[in-house]
Amino acid sequence: MHVDESLLTSVADHYKTHLAPIYAWMTGGLDAAIARGDAEIYAVLPNLSSGVTAVDLGAGFGMHAIPLARRGCSVLAVDTSSLLLEELMGRAQALAVKAVEDDLLSFRKYLDSSADVILCMGDTLTHLPDQPSVEKLFSLAAESLRPPGQFIATFRDYTSPLVGDGRFIPVRSDNDRILTCFLEYGTDYVDVHDVLNERDGSVWRQKVSSYRKLRLSPEWVSAALRAAGFSARVEPGLAGMTRVIATRA
Ligand SMILES: C[S@@+](CC[C@H](N)C(=O)[O-])C[C@H]1O[C@@H](n2cnc3c(N)ncnc32)[C@H](O)[C@@H]1O
């Protein structure tokens, strides 16, 4: 691989210095994103009853945690970004949401009882450092769910590499800001370079930050979930993502 690894940022730093301040803008605004999250929750959990204990891993600003809480769930939201959790709590107000700034693999420390639903949405799974960490997460989820609890994840399938100009992905732009993503593929990972151009008065300023994501295939994710004690089905998710719905046997 031609990437100088010293130029890569940790996931937590990438969000802190680069993505978190523009995350709501990148997704088209908090309200619109939360409305999409609500529709997705309804699609995957149509019979959700109030009183359910839910965990949202890599909750961000609460695209799914807020709709879950609005539907009467008690929600544990875990994320390493304090800025995104502040946005989440700004929206949660009096809803039953506990926001915790920590690594998602530590979520069990904050869970008072078994959970009914555990979510890991919006490509958070691929942010884990390696495949054993993903397997560890699935085991922790299985241990934490009361049967027939569900683990639901959405992630991007990077297993078929984009080539040539296709590796330059326009993410979002308006009159004052342009975000483009450039991908470089390794064997089981992809290095993501987020190129942000922002207008500063009459000049444009460019900031680049790079981090690593895992290339996880839907087949590997399903098999790892089955090995952890789930039955799993895979279906298309929002915005080209893969959605996996796993039920604790
Ligand atoms: C792509 S965003 C998805 C956010 C949210 N789930 C959604 O669907 O909008 C990934 C989120 O996971 C968080 N994150 C990444 N790795 C994490 C880790 N190991 N532990 C906790 N949070 C993590 C990031 O800070 C970010 O908020």
Q: What is the SS3 string spanning 115-142?
A: EEEEEECCCCHHHCCCHHHHHHHHHHHH
Q: What percent of the chain stands above pLDDT 70? A: 99
DSSP string, 89-103: HHHHTTSSEEEEES-
Distance (Å) from CA 226 to ligand 1 centroid? 24
| Residue in the block written with tokens 């994501």 | 213
Give the long-range contacts of residues 66-74, CB within 8 A, separation 24 or more.
Answer: 66/34, 66/37, 66/38, 66/91, 66/92, 66/95, 66/97, 67/34, 67/37, 67/38, 67/41, 68/41, 68/117, 68/119, 69/95, 69/96, 69/97, 70/38, 70/95, 71/41, 72/48, 73/48, 73/117, 74/98
Q: Which atom of ligand 1 sits closest to the CA of residue 124?
A: 10
Q: Look at residue 149 in the predicted model and tell me its pLDDT.
A: 96
Averaged over 130-136, what is the pLDDT?
98
Burial class (CB in 10 A: 0-12, 13-18, 19+), 87: middle
Averaged over 146-170, what is the pLDDT?
97
What's the pLDDT tens digit per position in 212-242? 999 999 999 999 999 999 999 999 999 999 9
**For ligand 1, is residue 124 a contact (CB within 6 Å)?**
yes
Asked if residues 223 and 231 have their Cβ atoms less than 8 Å apart, the reply is no
Cα pseudo-dihedral 87, 89, 91, 93, rounded to 10: -160
**Is 37's pLDDT higher than 80?**
yes
**For ligand 1, is residue 68 a contact (CB within 6 Å)?**
no
Kindly indicate the confidence band of residue 3, based on its pLDDT and cuts at 50, 70 and 90. Answer: low
Pocket test for ligand 1, best of 13, 34, 124 (most atoms within 8 A of CB): 124
Q: Look at residue 136 in the predicted model and tell me its pLDDT.
A: 98
**For ligand 1, is residue 126 a contact (CB within 6 Å)?**
no
Side by side, the strands of the sheet bearing 168-173 are: 168-173, 177-185, 189-200, 203-214
Phi, psi at 113, each rounded to 5°: -145, 180
Tell how far CA 12 is from the center of its chain: 13
**Is 7's pLDDT higher than 90?**
no
**Is 1's pLDDT higher than 60?**
no
Residue type, 114: S
Pocket test for ligand 1, best of 127, 181, 194, 211 (most atoms within 8 A of CB): 127
**For ligand 1, is residue 78 a contact (CB within 6 Å)?**
yes
What mean pLDDT is reported for the chain? 96
What's the pLDDT tens digit per position in 38-96? 999 999 999 998 999 999 999 999 999 999 999 999 999 999 999 999 999 999 999 99
Phi, psi at 47, each rounded to 5°: -105, 25
Distance (Å) from CA 233 to ligand 1 centroid? 23
Instruction: Please give the structure tokens belonging to residue 117.
Output: 């639903």
What's the pLDDT tens digit per position in 163-185? 999 999 999 999 999 999 999 99
Q: Look at residue 223 in the predicted model and tell me its pLDDT.
A: 98
Q: Look at residue 5 in the predicted model and tell me its pLDDT.
A: 79
Q: The pTM is what?
A: 0.97
**For ligand 1, is residue 58 a contact (CB within 6 Å)?**
yes
**For ligand 1, is residue 79 a contact (CB within 6 Å)?**
yes
Residue nearest (by alpha carbon) to ligand 1 atom 11:
58
Q: Look at residue 170 in the predicted model and tell me its pLDDT.
A: 98
Residue nearest (by alpha carbon) to ligand 1 atom 23:
58
